[in-house]
Chain A
Amino acid sequence: MVTIFGIPSAALFGQLLIGLINGSFYALLSLGLAVIFGMLNIINFAHGAQYMLGAVAAFLLLQWTGIGYWPALIVAPLIVGAFGIVIERAFLQWLYKLDHLYGLLLTFGLALIVEGIARNFLGSAGLPYALPDSLRGGQNLGFMFLPNYRAWVIGVSLVICFGTWFAIERTRLGAYLRAATENPTLVRAFGINVPLMITLTYGFGVALAAFAGVMAAPIYNVSPQMGSELIIVVFAVVVIGGMGSILGAILTGFGLGVIEGLTKVFFPEASNTVIFVIMAIVLLVRPAGLFGRRA
């Protein structure tokens, strides 16, 4: 058997793959957080709950209406994104003039509500969601076995992440968004409907979380607490990367996923804590974060 640093190479590459998968979710979620924070000045604590809602929506669509994975990949984010738009109109819009922390507290409350309701109806145990038939099986790459579904998740995440980056950094709409982030009053004076843009941005960020949730459903079980466990790690990712840069959020997400995967191979006891330890080190060395501008 081939070994690298005394570790069987299959195990090493297997964990690297899992790391990339986790990294995909870190990247998608921290990207959404960064986009929402940029426009709304709110840290969306409900992001994890909305990711969970995406997975639950996919599960219920299959159970109740027989709608399968592929349509759910579009339908579930639309439903959850619409829910996000309702939240923004009903609650968040009243907070923009207040201190940031009220946004955090309100979205934390929303996360509790959503998770509590989900637990009441689904129970705390995980519910299985079957892999789509077209993505079963895998490829033998010679040095490792690559399941098709995992390759698909990593590929799609990269496409979505860089698509978002392109839309924000390289298109006209993105230019409006960035301008509105810097100076909303001035952008409004140019006749652009900034409140509508804010609402849609939140809806988009939430839909992104839900999309990640649908993709996660066949990998992890669908469970009410899947979001709250993830969101805290994503917060650490955001602290490490800083929210000033979209590309930074993506790179940090994937990078930390890989590091976490490698830790599972070499030092499994620390795999839960490694991202937090890295956060502590980054705070000591570069307090503003790897890609952050000094606030």
Chain B
Amino acid sequence: MDTMSSPAVTGAHAPPSAVRRNGEAIGFAIMVAALIVAPFFTYPLFLMQAMCFALFACAFNLLIGYGGLLSFGHALYFGWASYIAAHAAKVWGLTPELAILTGTAAAAILGLLAGSLAIRRQGIYFAMITLALSQMMYFVALRMKFTGGEDGIQAVPRGHLFGLIDLRNDTAMYVVVLVIFLGCFLLIYRIIHSPFGEVLKAIRENEPRAISLGYKTERYKLIAFVLSATLAGVAGSTKAITLQIASLTDVNWPMSGEVVLMTLVGGLGTIFGPVVGAFVILAMQFKLSVVGEWVLVIQGVIFVACVLLFRRGIVGEVAALFKR
């Protein structure tokens, strides 16, 4: 069958042991410390953007790394959540937390619709279906009035959190994004290590066997898909409020490719991989913004190099070093 049985993905997740759990706790502590200290050394806006993309990549990784399902259309949930949240904040005048929730709910609904279609086919078809559905919704976004077409929704107000805390202050905004990111990260960690997550991994390894053991695999796959889309929606909504813009870039296919690239570079099926990958790729785009169109070529080269030379990604390779 078309489940992901390659060593790159399966090897990255052996059964949890005390050693592994300690390693993950240390990794989490380092990540939190780094994110608290980092704003003193680099642009807070860049870090906030990177955290949104890191969350996006973690959400994507939940689906491919643990469910073995390659979605090539995750821009759909990220971009549409971003549009809805921006619209809710700007036109409906909702407070930022409600705007983010509205965007997230929209992503969840879209995830349910797209997911129930996509899980009807396996493997490579799954990827093509998700890509096609996301392209369809790109055209819808291009046509609809409220999205602002080529201009997007600009000057989205950050507003006051719970009507109290003014988020125009970058420090307050940073704390909010950090809390959202860490909260969702821990949620994803919890999902992966729950009984549900274990069944998901079983489906990834051998779907027919999971079926014969009595699991309704379609239902598990759909739940995983909706969870992933919803979390991508959190990332997209938070990005729209933080950067105060929602545009066609967020909903177009290169964005779907970018999240795949981030996860691949960091390490498919590793917990910290997507975070590392998102920061690496965004830092690269930031540094390379002078070279213009060559960014596309460089991204392509990284894709090819990752697939041919290190399929485990940065975190996967580091983990393998420690295991020896």
Contacts and interface: CB of A to CB of B under 8 A. Distances in A.
Interface of A: 37, 43, 91, 94-95, 98-102, 104-106, 108-117, 119-120, 228, 232-233, 235-236, 238-239, 269, 272-273, 276-277, 279-280, 283-284, 287-288, 295
A21 B143 CA distance: 25
A32 to B, nearest CB: 15
B302 to A, nearest CB: 7
Nearest to A281: B117
Given A43-B124, A43-B128, A283-B120, A276 B304 contact: no
Q: Which 3 A-B pairs have the closest CB atoms?
A: A109-B303, A112-B300, A116-B296
> Interface residues of A: mostly helix, strand, loop or mixed?
helix
B39 interface: no
A120 B293 contact: yes
B121 A287 contact: yes
B285 interface: no
Given A101-B4, A239-B121, A109 B294 contact: no
B70 interface: yes
B303 A232 contact: no
Interface string B285-300: 0000000111111111
The interface residues of chain B, by DSSP majority, are classed as: helix
B294 A116 contact: yes
B118 to A, nearest CB: 8
A126 B146 CA distance: 29
Interface of B: 2, 4-6, 8-9, 64, 70, 72, 117, 120-125, 127-129, 131-133, 135-136, 139-140, 142-143, 253, 257, 260, 264, 292-304, 306-308, 311
A46 B192 CA distance: 33
Nearest to B5: A99
Contacts of A233: 132, 135
B124 A101 contact: yes
Nearest to A240: B132
Given A99-B5, A113-B297, A120-B297, A287 B120 contact: yes
Contacts of B294: 116, 120
